Every structure is written in C-alpha cells, then in structure tokens.
Amino acid sequence: MQAQIDATPEIVTAGLLVIGDEILSGRTKDKNIGYIAEYLTNIGIDLREARIVPDVEEEIVDALDAMRVRYTYVFTTGGIGPTHDDITADAVAKAFGVPLRVDPRAVALLQQRFGTAPLNEARLRMARIPEGGELIHNKVSGAPGFRIGNVFVMAGIPNVMQAMLDEVAPTLKTGVKVLSHSIRADAREGDIGTPLGEIAKQYPGVSIGSYPFFDEARGPNTNIVIRSRDPSLLAAAAQAVEAMLAQVRAQRPA
C-alpha cells in the first residue's frame, strides 16, 4: 500500500451567523463581523459567508441548517441572554433535533457569579443548553456560550464574544494560513484594471483584489491585495504586479 500524497493544503472554512433585530433595525451597529473575520483569517480559517438574521426562530434554524452542512465551523453571535427575545439556544436545539434543558454545569457557573441563592427564571434561561452541547466559558460574564457539533454559540456583546472566541480558538482545526501582500499602486484603478486582470489570469492560485481609495495628496488611488496560501506563488504574483505598475508609471505623462 502506497502512502497517499495530498498536495492540496487543508482548507478550513467557517460561516458566521449574527442574530438580532437590533442589528437589522440599525439601532446597534455590529462590531463582531469584522473582528471575527480578521481573527479567523489570522489563525488560518477562511470565513466564507456571514448572515444577519432577526430574532425569529425559523430564520435562525434555516440559516444554521444552510451553513452547518457547508462549512467546517459555524459561529453565531447574539441571543443568549436572559430575556424572552433571546431564542438562539431554542433555535440551535431545534436545528439539531435535541432537547434544550437547564444544564447543571451552566447553573454552577452562573451561581459563581450571582451567589448561591436560587437563580430566578430569567437567569435560568441562560443555563439552557441543547443536549450534547459543551459549555464555552468566558472571563467577562458568568453566562456561558456552548458548542454543539460544528456550531459555536457566542454572546453578542463584543467583549464577551471576544473572550469566548479566545476560549474556543485553541480547540479549532486550522488550515494553512492565507498569506497576503498589499501594494499601494499610486495609480487610479481604471488605469491598471486591464493589465491587473491579465496578471490575475496568469496566477489562478492567487487572489488579487483591487480596492480604490481617495488619497488626500494624490487623489484617486488604489490598494492591490494579493492573497495565496503558497508563499512562492504570492511572491511571483507580487513581482508581476510591481513590474506592471512600474510600466504604467513610466508611460504616464510627466
């Protein structure tokens, strides 16, 4: 039996589900998507999709079911507090077809925070964990998130979510990190679009993004971001882009 050679670097993917009416009404401006996107990129996980859905059980279940079969991991934020509008745990239990029960481990965590007097009904809501779920501790608030299957359920409050993500990150499978290289073009996007597209065609294993911005000193300008898992491909594509930019600049009227 021969050893299998697998030249494809492992790719670990994720979907993100942001749950909350307040984000869709614009009352609260989401701060979690950008943070999680950058965090996952830095540990070698590709965020492939994010969705924001309202506090409606059916919407949460549908989005979860669409994403959890598609990606290695799904992260959710929001909807795990003590009030009637916190229905994320209910929706996750429903998606997985398991009962949602007050979990003694979660009760113990909450009692560390709120004292040994019996927890009221609202706080007990925060101890409801779908059967088979593992708690996600956090150092900021007492209330845990949880993991079930490939789904990680986290708080919506940014500093609590961040503490949970730190807790979870070491347990995640990570892939080969995408490397990136940024080049400031000192040219307008429309002046480099055609040759840049030709370079993109020559390097199919490399993603080349072009991001226009307004430069106070020079006016319209462009950042080119080259991304690849392969450092030598990345370097070759970057060199091709630099050579193209030098040529464009040389042809520019003085």
* Contacting residue, 50, 80, 148, 238, with its own copies by CB under 8 A: 50
Q: Write out the binding residues for its own copies, residues 84-113 only, by CB under 8 A.
A: 84-86
Least distance in angstroms from the C-beta of 17 to its own copies: 10
For residue 18, give the 3-state DSSP assignment: strand
Q: Does 115 bind its own copies (CB under 8 A)?
A: no
Q: What burial class does residue 148 get, using C-beta atoms within 10 Å of its C-beta: 0-12 exposed, 13-18 middle, 19+ buried?
A: buried
Among 1, 2, 4, 29, binds its own copies (CB under 8 A): 29
Cα-flanking dihedrals φ and ψ of residue 111, to 5°? Answer: -70, -25
Query: Least CB distance from residue 3 to its own copies, whole Å?
Result: 33
Least separation in angstroms between CB 5 and its own copies: 28
What is the total count of residues that contact its own copies (CB under 8 A)?
65
Nearer CB in complex with its own copies: 104/190? 190
122 binds its own copies (CB under 8 A): yes
- Determine the 3-state secondary structure of 147 from DSSP: strand
SS3 assignment, position 141: coil
Which stretches within the chain are classed as H helix?
Answer: 21-24, 32-42, 57-68, 88-96, 104-114, 121-125, 158-168, 189-202, 231-251
Out of 12, 179, 227, 230, the residue judged to bind its own copies by CB under 8 A: 227
Q: Which residues contact 215 (CB under 8 A, 6 or more apart)?
A: 221
Q: Hey, which residues between 150 and 209 contact its own copies (CB under 8 A)?
A: 157, 178, 180, 189-194, 196-197, 200-201, 207-209
User: Rounded to whole angstroms, how far apart are CA atoms 16 and 124?
Assistant: 26
- Identify which of residues 126 and 136 has a Cβ nearer to its own copies in the complex: 126
- Sequence-distant (≥ 6) Cβ neighbours of residue 42 within 8 angstroms: 177
Q: Which of 12, 41, 43, 186 binds its own copies (CB under 8 A)?
A: 41
Does 59 participate in binding its own copies (rule CB under 8 A)? yes
Nearest distance, CB of residue 115 and its own copies, angstroms: 12
Nearer to its own copies, 81 or 133 (CB): 81
What letter would DSSP give residue 170?
G
DSSP structural state of residue 171: G
Question: Is the CA virtual torsion 147, 150, 155, 158 positive or negative?
Answer: positive
Q: Which of 12, 48, 100, 186 binds its own copies (CB under 8 A)?
A: 48
Contacting positions for its own copies (CB under 8 A): 21-30, 33-41, 46-55, 59, 81-86, 114, 120-123, 125-126, 157, 178, 180, 189-194, 196-197, 200-201, 207-213, 225, 227
